[in-house]
Amino acid sequence: MPPVLEASAAAAADPADLHVVFSAECIPAFDWQSAGLFYSFRRVRQPGRITRLLACSEAQLSTYPKVNLEMGPTFVHKNMRFDASNDAEKDDPHNDGKGTGYASYNKPYSVMAWLEQTDVEEDHDYVLFMDSDMILRQPIDPVAMGVTRGNVVSAGCSQNS
C-alpha cells in the first residue's frame, strides 16, 4: 500500500485549484458509479470542483432521465460507441473505419472535448482524472503528491494487492 503523503502548510496547494473529472456514459451502470463518486467528493469535503464527462448520442440524451443528468456538474459530449442508438455519428472522423466505433475512445475523447470547449487552464492549476468506479476516501492535495506543471503523478496499482 502506498504511503499517505502529507504536505507542509507552506507547500500546500490552493485546494480550490483542483478540478476532479471522470468519464461516463449515459447508461444505468455509469449512473450508479457517478452517484458514488459525486457522493464521496462531497463526503470527504474535497475542495475544488468535480465534473462528469458524459458520453451520450443525441438519441440517448433525448431519453436520458433529467434527474440523472443533474446529479452533479456534467459536461456532455458525443458518444464514441457507435450502435443502433447513434448511427448518425458513424461518419465521425474518429470512427474506426469499420462503422462500429470503439467505446474506449470515450475516455480520451471526453478529456479532449472538455479541454477544447471550456476554460480549464484559466480556472484550475490541477486536474485529477478519475475513473467513474472510483471513490475518494480523503481529500487530495496535489502538491503533497508531487504534482508540478508538466509532471503527471499516478498512484501505484497492482491487481494482486
Whole-model pTM? 0.77
CATH code at 91? 3.40.50
Report, as an integer, the average pLDDT of 74-103: 65
Range of the domain at 62: 15-131
Q: Which residues, at least 6 apart from 110, have a Cβ–Cβ distance to it below 8 Å?
A: 23, 53, 54, 55, 75, 77
Evaluate whether residue 112 is within a structural domain.
yes
Q: Which residue has the higher pLDDT, 99 or 36?
A: 36
Evaluate whether residue 136 is within a structural domain.
no
Evaluate whether residue 97 is within a structural domain.
yes
Evaluate whether residue 33 is within a structural domain.
yes
C-alpha span between 101 and 82 (Å, rounded):
5
Evaluate whether residue 101 is within a structural domain.
yes
**Domains in the chain, number:** 1
DSSP bridge partners of 53:
23, 75
| Average pLDDT of the chain to the nearest whole number | 79
Evaluate whether residue 159 is within a structural domain.
no
Q: pLDDT digits over 29-82, tens only? A: 999 999 999 999 999 999 999 999 999 988 889 999 999 999 999 999 988 876
Q: pLDDT digits over 113-124, tens only? A: 999 998 776 666
